[in-house]
Amino acid sequence: MLGRNADELAVDIERRVADHELLPGDRLPPVRVLATELDLAPNTVAAAYRRLGERGIAIGRGRMGTFIADRPPVMVPADPEVRRGLQDLSSGNPDSDLLPDLGGALRESSGPTVLYGDPSVDEDLAARGARLLEADGVSADHLAVVSGGLDGMERVLQAHLRRGDRVAIEDPGYPAVIDLVGALGLVAVPMGVDDDGPQPDSLDAALDRGIAAVIVTPRAQNPFGSAISAERASILRSSLDRFPDVLVIEDDHAAAVAGVPMHSIAGDRERWTTIRSAAKTYGPDVRLALLAGDHTTVRRVEGRQRLGPGWVSHVLQRLVAQLMSDSNTKRNVARAAELYASRRRSLLEALNKRGFEAFGTSGLNVWVPVPNESAAERAMERRGFSVRPGGRFRIRSSPALRLTVSSLDESDAGRVADALLEAVSDLGTGTRTG
């Protein structure tokens, strides 16, 4: 390692993590050992480790030492592409054949040139988006437009929270949310989930630990497939009512293609936001999300946005407004939701018939507990399928595989289930229900 001061040393360690010379879970040398090796003062090394901790790259574990975090927020190589010849059940993407023709919509969505000082939100998009949100019981009195769901989530967290604040997140949950919380210097508090959403006892325990915010996915939860039911939403709201200062963030990333209605838990809280992304409905390259929330949250997001990108391009905003209004697109979105639901049910039924306990009441994925994720992944590859091991999605929850069903031909569901049954049998450990 190189570095003449704490900043240089921290940068060098970060580079080694990005280059995979240091891996998640690796133990860094003790402060005094590294100080002697580099001829630095122990305080310099300790300061470098603190900087790495503040950025979520390293984590201190008391007398055990300092370790590279499980999910360090650095640029690392992307997930490997699906190997040629394998059927893709791993990517999490929507079915490209079910996405709209953006070229045609762009031609229909032309408008005036937007200049500095003009309103940041397209009037037509705001009106159409507000109607859709309000139809799902979400207040749209205050709206902003952000560059996707995670962009909105990051801006909301930064608008209200400080380093060290606790944030309750779903476990298993979306890896990017887990990574984002760590990168912002926040402390993740895992909440268990079931088919109906976050488990009430788990949320209550997190609230009693003094969380500052909770992030939930109201439907199409990734990877578990949860959808918050009306009854569960009422229970969760009652728990949250005891803690009026807790920020609630709802990540409605799948929106109209989730396959089930949305039941919001935000209500009329003092601090809340619902973020509805266009990516799953219209395509991942449509980097836009509507952000509804209380007056203060939305204004803080817009204010910070003006100091950076300024606004989301009105070309993109008009495109999404056009897609929302086009009758053919609306029919195609409804068809996509039906097909995703049918494909998901087909795989769940096939897995259940073979004795598996699998989960996925909404969305594009099915979550299947297995005894050994890595071994099961390799066994599925040998049988022609690329699946996603659950390690990146988990904090404390049990091992599993995530299978994306968005492009799965229903006639292949039995073949996938048979392959998984053989794969698990090869491991010599049962994970089935019967």
CA 267, 217, 239, 196 dihedral sign is positive
* pLDDT-derived band at 2, boundaries 50, 70, 90: low
d(CA 90, CA 102): 25
Beta strand residue intervals within 241-338, DSSP E: 247-252, 272-277, 289-293
Domains and CATH numbers, the chain: 6-68 (1.10.10.10), 87-96+330-427 (3.90.1150.10), 101-325 (3.40.640.10)
Give the global pTM. 0.87
Strands laid side by side in the 400-404 sheet: 365-369, 400-404, 388-389
Report how far residue 290's alpha carbon sits from residue 323's, in angstroms, rounded to the nearest whole number: 14
How many CB atoms neighbour CB 316 within 10 A? 20
How far apart are the C-alpha atoms of 232 and 190, rounded to whole Å? Answer: 18
Mean pLDDT of 4-12: 88
Query: CA 292, CA 310: separation in Å to the nearest integer?
Result: 18
What pLDDT was estimated at residue 245? 96
Consecutive H or E run containing 106: helix 102-108
pLDDT tens per residue, range 305-351: 999 999 999 999 999 999 999 999 999 999 999 999 999 999 999 99
Instruction: Please give the share of the chain, as a percent, with pLDDT higher than 90.
Output: 78
Distance CA(182)–CA(193), nearest Å, equals: 20
The encoded tokens of residue 407 equal: 């492009």
> SS3 for 213?
strand
- Mean pLDDT score across all residues of the chain: 93
- Give the ranges where 354-406 is alpha helix by DSSP (H): 373-382
pLDDT at 430 (0 to 100): 44
pLDDT band at 434 (very low <50, low <70, confident <90, very high): very low
Residues 265-294 as b/e (b if ≥16 CB within 10 A, e otherwise) read bbeebebbbbbbbbbbbbbeebbbbbbbbb
Model pLDDT for residues 114-168, shown as the tens digit of each residue: 999 999 999 999 999 999 999 999 999 999 999 999 999 999 999 999 988 999 9
C-alpha 355/C-alpha 434 separation (Å) is 5
What distances in angstroms separate CA 122 from CA 128, 139, 152, one per listed residue? Answer: 10, 18, 17
Which position has the token pair 């995703």? 340
